[in-house]
């Protein structure tokens, strides 16, 4: 799976980071960073929760 973020939509509110800190991080510069663009399948449930938590729907998965 590959994580895709539409950075034009992203507001860096860190809700994704709360759900999947192994994959997403909002740093002190208030920008979202994808720590692992191709996480293993074991992280899929956390990534899916991060997608649901995103209020701007900026995150998606490509299989």
In the prediction, which pLDDT does 46 show? 98
Q: How far apart are CA 38 and CA 4, in angstroms?
A: 10
20 within 8 A of 46, measured Cβ to Cβ: yes
Q: How far apart are CA 4 and CA 29, in angstroms?
A: 20
In the chain, the domains with their CATH numbers are: 2-62 (3.30.70.20)
Q: Cβ of 56: how many Cβ atoms within 10 Å? A: 13
Q: Of all helices (H) and strands (E), which one includes residue 26?
A: strand 24-26
Residue-wise pLDDT tens digits, 22-38: 999 999 999 999 999 99
Q: How far apart are CA 42 and CA 33, in angstroms?
A: 20
In the prediction, which pLDDT does 18 show? 98
In the prediction, which pLDDT does 52 show? 98
């Amino acid at each position: 799976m590959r994580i895709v973020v539409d950075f034009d939509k992203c507001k860096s509110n860190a809700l994704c980071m709360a759900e999947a800190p192994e994959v997403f991080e909002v740093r002190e510069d208030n920008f979202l960073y994808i720590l692992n663009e191709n996480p293993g399948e074991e992280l899929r449930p956390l990534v899916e929760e991060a997608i649901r938590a995103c209020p701007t729907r900026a995150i998606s998965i490509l299989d």
